[in-house]
Structure 1
Amino acid sequence: MKGFFEKIKGKTDLGPKFRELEQLKRQVNALYNVLSDLYGSDKIVLRAGKLNVLKMMRSENLTEQVLALKKLVFEDPTPDTVPGMDEIPAILDEIGEELADIIARRTVEDDLDKKINERMQQRHEEYVREIKMQIIKENTGPENAQTLKKLAILEKLDQKNLTRRALDVLRPAAIDQIVGQERPVRSLLSKLASPFPQHIILYGPPGVGKTTAARLALEAARALPNSPFNQDAPFIEVNGTTLRWDPRESTNPLLGSVHDPIYQGARRDLADSGIPEPKPGLVTDAHTGVLFIDEVGELDPILQSKLLKVLEDKRVFFESSYYDPADANLPRYIKKLFEEGAPADFILIGATTREPEEINPAIRSRCAEIYFEPLTPADIREIVYQAAGRLGVSLQEGVAEVIAEYTIEGRKAVNFLADAYAIACYKAGGNNQPVIVLDDVYEVIQVSRLTPYTCRKAGGEGEVGRIFGLGVSGYLGSALEIEAMAFPAGRKGGGVIRFNETAGSMAKDSVFNAASVLRKLTGRDLHDYDVHVNVVGGGRIDGPSAGVAIFLAVYSALENRSIPQDIAVTGELSIQGRVKAVGGVPEKIYGAKQCGVKTVYVPWENQKDVPTDTRGVNVVTVVSVEEIIEHVFKTSIQPDN
């Protein structure tokens, strides 16, 4: 190198070469400085020692310095030949690019390290805050000034109330206070008090006390010796119209559901670890007690099928695709629920206003069936007197009788009395104990636009061509007023038989059957008469049970014989004059009682359907229309030959 510089000094034409050499030296020094800034002088010396280039790095020979720099940058321990002067620029460019890459990577890494440190610091601060909050909760509880203030407001509101509702006072408090249902209540209590209690379905019209009877029957059963129910046996009440089947099975208040950690979220600690949480439903709440489902006939069909499975197994089982029995973080209660299910050993009591045929046959086969009776006017009067006693109010004579004319539902009768009581209190001005008078009752009737439940009333006098038939709708029977008129036709065989169209085709067939029987028994041909048969009020007759009543009305009109207006008949009329069996006999007897009928004629084939308690109605079974004619008209009939 020294000879090289001497040659340069001796030759003035090498000026550009000298400047180029000086520039390369400065470039090499700059690269060494950059490398030293990146790794530090001490680390550079250590690395040079490992690579055996320490001597070359300190050499005054530019080519050796470049070779050492190259090995330090690329960390190349293999021996290499010293580059020539013409190779140095390219090597320095390569070294510069590598250092640029290292600096770029170092910058990115520094940025990442900075962000990571910031994130770690943030997490650390959050963790410290959570620990602090946990310590605060452990030391002071979940309350703070704001929550304590809201609690104080709620407690202050609880200390204030207007008064109890009238219906809360008027509701029966003991099972012997239920009116008009002695036999159904006795049957219900016996099935609950048995050592082997049964599931039960209660049928009957609304407002007759099915829900109250179920609740009070459990209370009575608890007090009996050898009762299967403990003193703390629960009574869980739910309405079937509010329960719907969720195909996702995420919400099921009746049977229970599984809260998956992703879609609905279980508890936070379970959601964080991906553990599903089963939530038992009402069937588990009713364990060892009674589950009462009002309007059980409205329950979703799929939910009914699921309920049947629970009744059989006495347990509810849960499923979830997120459940992993091998998960070490799985709480034992969740594992137990998934593997063994939730207990659901209860007695089901369902109530419905539907017909038995409309209830799921599988549910019916597992339940004892009890029919609640419609309430009579006497029952309604007794309910009104009981309610007045609970209110501590006096009734003017005739108040209970008027209320009984406008409803056959115990609930409505109590509401009626509560409305009249409110009017009496308003009139009294709060000074004296009010007395409910007839004017208060009539004011309720006018304001509420009420109409009497029974518009047709039986009487003691006879009428020609008029008789009461009996019909049934649901669990309620009613009297149908059937009337007939007959006039000789203008010409023989030119008569017309007319029947109101709204009564239905079945009623028309009954008229034709009556014409055949009349001709057989009396020799009269209805085609010689203009006959008009009418169902008063435009009622529709869906079955053949009005056949005998239509026959008697037409017979009375033709023979001009009066029919007592305190009787009613039901039965299908055959063309041979026989009285055939019909349905709904107990309900029809009830309907006859409602309108004041004293005697009811029913088919002999229905004698097994006649209830033991006919509520004061005389029930006569007959085989043929001849028997009815003998009873009604007190005479026998001789057919014309």
Structure 2
Amino acid sequence: MLKKLLKKLNRIPGSKLHEKLDDEEAVRRQVTALFGILSSIYGPDKLVLRAGKLDALSLMRSSSVEERIIALQRIVFENPTIEERPTPERIPEILNDVEEAIANFLARKTVEEDLEKRVNERMQEKHEDYIKEIRTQLVKEQSGPENAQTLKKYAQLEKLDSVKLSKSTYERVRPQQMEQIIGQEQAKRSLMSKLASPFPQHILIYGPPGVGKTTAARIALQEAAKLASTPFAEEAPFVEVDGTTLRWDPRDITNPLLGSVHDPIYQGARRDLADTAIPEPKLGLVTDAHGGILFIDEIGELDPVLQNKLLKVLEDKRVRFESPYYDPEDPNVPKYIQKLFEEGAPADFILIGATTRDPSEINPALRSRCAEIYFEPLVPQQVEEIVAGAADRLQVSLEQSVAKTIAKYTIEGRKAVNLLSDAHGLAVYRAGGTAEESVTIVQADIEEVLRMNRLVPYVQDKEQDAEPAEVGKIHGLGVAGFLGSTIEIEAVAYPADEAGKGRLRFNDTAGSMAKDSVFNAAAVLRRITGLDVQDFDIHVNVVGGGRIDGPSAGVAITLAIYSAMLSKPIPQDVAITGEISIQGKVKSVGGVFEKIFGARQAGMTRVLVPYDNRRDVPSDLEGIEVHLIKTIDEVVGLVFEERLEQVAAS
């Protein structure tokens, strides 16, 4: 309506600015039209009341155009003191001012009405939303958060939970007490001593897979919690996480290990918090482990940046949260969120990290904060004990040869238990599927499992070797990770067709450092035998084409060539490791501890290691004799039981 009045105002005769009105009738019509617009704006009754308040009622009803113009001025400008009669020259200007005032009023009124209309619409929407929310809340209060669809899904989950095929075999046979963990006596004592203290230490556990690192840590906490000397409560948590699967966002949008902040815009905090733009911190595993142990398996695979963040938590014993959306002055922030942002979340725990990596590959900063424990590789006898114990907990009987057969095909306790579980399944199936009856696992069951898994013996049976000693063949020692093994090295030597023009060949796939060991051996052999290797065609081979990373096969290569040149057989129950210098000295090498265990697993009865590695020799060895050697003279004396002076003279 106001817009129509504006259009009507623009159509009033003579209403343009500075338009001169010569026709008195036109002025009269214009004044009448203006009063008509005012009547439309205020209404006839209200216009009369307004005119009465402004002493303009009699002037408005006057037949004089001048008096009616004065009435217009008083009503429009709300000024009852206007009395000056307008002169004919000023009438157009006065009417123009009146029109402008009415137009401004109408325009303002139009905007106000549009704004009021939108405000009313918005208020109506909010009112409807509020009514809807109240209704929803009332429904929830009466019926709860469930409906037919959610209840159906819940029932489906309940039905799935009720179906259980069986308890995991590994869960059933897993050790429940520390003494059930086989072959790690020293490591178990070390682990308990570090947790039983009033000031427990962070720990790094090194060792091959499947030897009981995780189980030992879990049982150690249970045992330590029973002691009055430790700060662990009986219900102290043991939180286990796999470092290989632990993922996080560098922007800290998500961090399951340390915790993160769910911002209200991007991630969506709880709805009631998001509506008020309040970020919500989410606690991580380090807080779940507060007061207990956080066990990270394969900690060496953890992201380096995340490792550094974890070190900061170990120092502070708290996790700090930050968010640009957090306003400490906001009165709507709940107390727990305010406490988390201002004080952080508690994270006072003991870290136990397990890894199959070499210690040199672990973050030095992490190593400096942790005590280090080494779990040893298992030998066949220990694997047999693990199989026997698992069979007892599984409540099955074993044929006498089953445990020994399994021990030939693996050195991992976990793998041994898995093989036993497969054989148990075969035995149950063979018995007709009656699980309640006593089941006996026979040799045929385990043989079939080994065939199905395409396994080959991990430990060769040395008792079946046809020759106790062979010319030009010797067992060196290697190590990969925490697992030692024997390396067969063989050599042949024939007189050259022409003296001084012999050839020395070596398989290149074994590596350049192993080839250097061959040339070092040639120099040493000339000195100790008096023979020129160039008078022979010599071929050295690493059986299986394995790559030798390092000079540790130097002594073994020297002895193999020596045996081939002089046709002296080497006992096949002896294994050797050590670097050879061109002066015939035996230098120290790495991995001696693991190599000795590898030699014992391979059925060796004697092993020769450098004298400088004497501190790496285990103190509780059984079934193998270790000799410390300094020079090639000592090696020849121990292997062939003769002196080099006699050899050179012959």
Question: TM (normalized to structure 2)?
Answer: 0.89
Matched, 1:49 2:52: yes
Partner residue of 1:124?
127
Partner residue of 1:374?
377
**Matches of 1:196 and 1:101, distance apart in 2:** 84
- Give matches, 1:276-287, under 5 Å: 276-287=279-290
Give the CA deviation at 1:385: 1.7
Q: What SS does structure 2 have at the residue aligned with 1:484? A: strand
CA contact (8 A) 2:56 2:80 kept: no
Give the CA deviation at 1:111: 3.6
Deviations 1:168-199 (A, max 9, x none): 22222222211221221221112111111110
Matched, 1:333 2:336: yes
Q: What SS does structure 1 have at the residue aligned with 2:113? A: helix
**Matches of 1:89 and 1:325, distance apart in 2:** 64
Select the residue among 177, 188, 201 that pairs with 1:185. Answer: 188
**Matches of 2:323 and 2:111, distance apart in 1:** 46
- Give matches, 1:562-581, under 5 Å: 562-581=569-588
Matched, 1:480 2:464: no
Higher mean C-alpha deviation, range 312-321 or range 272-281: 272-281
Select the residue among 448, 456, 462 that pairs with 1:451. Answer: 456
Partner residue of 2:631?
624
Partner residue of 1:223?
226
Give the CA deviation at 1:333: 2.1
Select the residue among 598, 606, 613 that pairs with 2:605. Answer: 598
- Give matches, 1:130-149, under 5 Å: 130-138=133-141, 140-149=143-152
Select the residue among 563, 586, 590 that pairs with 1:583. Answer: 590
**Matches of 1:552 and 1:502, distance apart in 2:** 21
- Give matches, 1:39-78, under 5 Å: 39-77=42-80
Matched, 1:315 2:318: yes
**Matches of 2:367 and 2:269, distance apart in 1:** 37
Q: What SS does structure 1 have at the residue aligned with 2:244? A: helix
Q: What SS does structure 2 have at the residue aligned with 1:413? A: helix
Matched, 1:168 2:171: yes
**Matches of 1:356 and 1:147, distance apart in 2:** 52
Give the CA deviation at 1:136: 4.4
Select the residue among 232, 237, 240 that pairs with 2:243. Answer: 240
Q: What SS does structure 2 have at the residue aligned with 1:202? A: strand
**Matches of 1:601 and 1:380, distance apart in 2:** 26
CA contact (8 A) 2:200 2:230 kept: no
**Matches of 1:94 and 1:634, distance apart in 2:** 132
Partner residue of 1:9?
none
Partner residue of 1:258?
261
Partner residue of 2:16?
none
Give the CA deviation at 1:586: 1.2
Give the CA deviation at 1:30: 4.9
The code of the aligned residue for 1:134 comes to Q
Q: What SS does structure 2 have at the residue aligned with 1:242? A: coil
Give the CA deviation at 1:47: 2.5
Matched, 1:560 2:559: no
1:434/1:103 CA distance change after superposition, 3 Å: same
**Matches of 1:89 and 1:635, distance apart in 2:** 141
Matched, 1:439 2:444: yes
The code of the aligned residue for 1:436 comes to I
**Matches of 2:433 and 2:57, distance apart in 1:** 114
CA contact (8 A) 1:456 1:479 kept: no
The code of the aligned residue for 2:193 comes to S
Q: What SS does structure 2 have at the residue aligned with 1:328? A: coil
CA contact (8 A) 1:245 1:302 kept: no
Partner residue of 1:528?
535
Matched, 1:292 2:295: yes
Deviations 1:380-406 (A, max 9, x none): 222222222222222233222222222
Give the CA deviation at 1:238: 1.0
- Give matches, 1:491-502, under 5 Å: 491-502=498-509
Matched, 1:397 2:404: no
**Matches of 1:263 and 1:147, distance apart in 2:** 27
Give the CA deviation at 1:90: 8.1
Aligned Cα root-mean-square deviation (Å): 2.6
1:517/1:23 CA distance change after superposition, 3 Å: closer
The code of the aligned residue for 1:34 comes to I
Select the residue among 382, 386, 400 that pairs with 1:383. Answer: 386
CA contact (8 A) 2:59 2:67 kept: yes
Select the residue among 493, 505, 508 that pairs with 2:512. Answer: 505
Q: What SS does structure 2 have at the residue aligned with 1:241? A: coil
**Matches of 1:438 and 1:471, distance apart in 2:** 32
1:93/1:625 CA distance change after superposition, 3 Å: closer
Q: What SS does structure 2 have at the residue aligned with 1:512? A: helix
Q: What SS does structure 2 have at the residue aligned with 1:36? A: helix
Partner residue of 2:558?
551
1:24/1:422 CA distance change after superposition, 3 Å: same
1:150/1:509 CA distance change after superposition, 3 Å: closer
Deviations 1:176-223 (A, max 9, x none): 211221221221112111111110000011111111111111112112
Deviations 1:437-465 (A, max 9, x none): 33332322232222222357474611111
Give the CA deviation at 1:528: 0.8
**Matches of 1:171 and 1:614, distance apart in 2:** 27
Q: What SS does structure 1 have at the residue aligned with 2:489? A: strand
CA contact (8 A) 2:377 2:482 kept: yes
Give the CA deviation at 1:293: 0.7
Higher mean C-alpha deviation, range 200-209 or range 240-249: 240-249
The code of the aligned residue for 2:575 comes to A
Provide the identity percentage.
62
Give the CA deviation at 1:330: 2.9
CA contact (8 A) 1:589 1:614 kept: no
Q: What SS does structure 2 have at the residue aligned with 1:172? A: coil
CA contact (8 A) 1:567 1:599 kept: yes
CA contact (8 A) 2:181 2:212 kept: yes
Question: TM (normalized to structure 1)?
Answer: 0.90
Structure 1 stretches lacking a partner, 5+ long: 1-19
Matched, 1:461 2:468: yes
Select the residue among 425, 428, 432 that pairs with 1:425. Answer: 428
Partner residue of 1:343?
346
The code of the aligned residue for 2:585 comes to R
CA contact (8 A) 1:244 1:303 kept: no
Partner residue of 2:161?
158
Give the CA deviation at 1:93: 7.3
CA contact (8 A) 1:180 1:373 kept: yes
**Matches of 1:79 and 1:629, distance apart in 2:** 135
Give the CA deviation at 1:245: 4.7
**Matches of 2:173 and 2:59, distance apart in 1:** 112
Partner residue of 2:270?
267
